Structures are given as structure tokens and as C-alpha cells.
Amino acid sequence: MILTSDFKGWKKLEYIWFAVSLITTVSASIYLKAGAMSIIAMIINIICVILLAKGKVSNFIFSIVGSILYGYITYSNAIYGDAIMRFVYNIPMGIYGYMVWKNNKVKADDDVEFRMLTTKERIFGGLGVIVAIAALASFLQLINGNNVILDATTTILGITALFLMSKRYTENWYLWILVNAISVILWLKIGNISPETVATLLMWVVFLLNSIFGTINWKRQCKLSEVTV
């Protein structure tokens, strides 16, 4: 059953990573006196990305809720590109991804099979991403957003990664590594330092480490299932 069986049968190190991620970030947030919304959003998003790395369908449930909360936080810090992505794109894609993954399960425990892009798809997709980043950066500049280049980059890469993730393409993790690394820089550059921004920064550090784990796990599972496109 989703949300119960999804946390069973993990390796010992995976349970340790899950516990350390939550305890470290939540404890630091409480110490910094971060707001309740920041802490709740952090917990939900950390659970989401770890379930994603494990290939669990239920990650989309946490993704939708986390997008609502985190979208509000980014909007409050004038990171408009990210906020728009959360409300306009992430929530609908979360619903779509949930349905797609439910129809592509290969095990009773809700794991799904993964696949990889062709070289041609990678080249044309990469060019499209570059053009989209330039266009969004120009728009964000017009509405006086903060750190428009980094904001536009993480937004477009995040949109692309989320689409690839919903379609079960392993390459989504390479983009998430970039998104998470840039997001760490982005939150470091925010002038309004507060407990909420520090808590969010800690969350992105966890996301970065988890994206590396997700890359390794998905590539291993992809090879095991021998799925090629």
C-alpha cells in the first residue's frame, strides 16, 4: 500500500540517510527559530526527494503539497521564477507524473522502471533549455526579480527535470544536480538573511546530496531492467 510499504525494505544506509537528513535540517531550523511553514515544507520536500530517488510513486503526493508551501516561501523572497514554476507547472506535473508512474510499475511495492534519452534527444533538448533560460531571464529582469540569471536557470532546468522525471528518464537527475547546486548559490546570495532562508538553504544542500544518490540508484536500476530508448 502506498505511503506505508514505500518505507519498507530499504537498505540500512538508506534508512540512516533518511533519518540524518530530517534530523539535521529540522534540528538546525528549530535552533534558528525558523517559521513553522519553512520547517513543514522542508520535511515534506525531503521525504519527497528521497522517495523519488527510491523510485516510489508516492513521491508525487509529497511533491504537490511541497510545491504549494515552497512556492509561497520563494514568492515571499522575490524569487518569482521559482514561485511561478511551483504553482503553474509543478502541481499539474505532479498529478500527471503520479498517473504515468502508476501505469508503469514493475513491482508490487510501487517501484517503476526507468529509461534513458537518445543522443539526439539530449542535443536538441539541451539547445532548447539554453534558449528558454535566456528568454525567462529577460522577462524576470523586466519585473525586477532577484538574481535573474540564477533564478531563470534553476526554473528552466527544474521544469525540464520534472518533465523527464515524470516520463521516467534517468537524465532528470543530472539536471537536478545542477538545479540543487545553483539553488544553494542562489539562497546564499539572498540579501535578506533570516532563519527561513537559512533553513531553506539547508534543505537545498540535502537535495543536492540526495540527487547524487538518485543518479546512482536510477542508473543502477535502469541497467538492471535493461530499458533502452
* Residue 115 one-letter amino acid: R
Dihedral, 51, 54, 60, 66 alpha carbons, nearest 10? 30
Among candidates 217, 204, 221, which has minimal Cα distance to 28? 204
User: Over the stretch 124-174, which tens digit does the pLDDT of each residue have?
Assistant: 999 999 999 999 999 988 887 777 888 888 889 988 998 998 888 999 999
Q: What is the pLDDT of residue 33?
A: 80
Q: What is the pLDDT of residue 228?
A: 44
The reported pTM is 0.77
Among candidates 74, 36, 33, which has minimal Cα distance to 186? 74
Domains: count for the chain: 1
Long-range contacts of 223-226 (CB under 8 A, 24+ apart): 225/106, 225/113, 225/114
Q: What is the pLDDT of residue 229?
A: 41
Q: All 3 cell numbers of residue 205? A: 544542500
The rounded distance, in Å, linking the Cα atoms of 2 and 69 is: 22
Domain interval for residue 147:
5-225
Contact of 84 with 151, CB cutoff 8 Å: no
Q: What is the pLDDT of residue 225?
A: 63
Q: What is the pLDDT of residue 183?
A: 79
Burial per residue of 104-128, b for 16 or more beta-carbon CB atoms within 10 angstroms, e otherwise: eeeeebbbbbbbbbeeeeeeebeee
Q: How far apart are the two ends of the chain, measured CA to CA in Å? A: 30
Residue 184 confidence class, pLDDT cut points 50, 70, 90:
confident
Q: What is the pLDDT of residue 174?
A: 93
- Which residue did the predictor score with more confidence, 48 or 108? 48
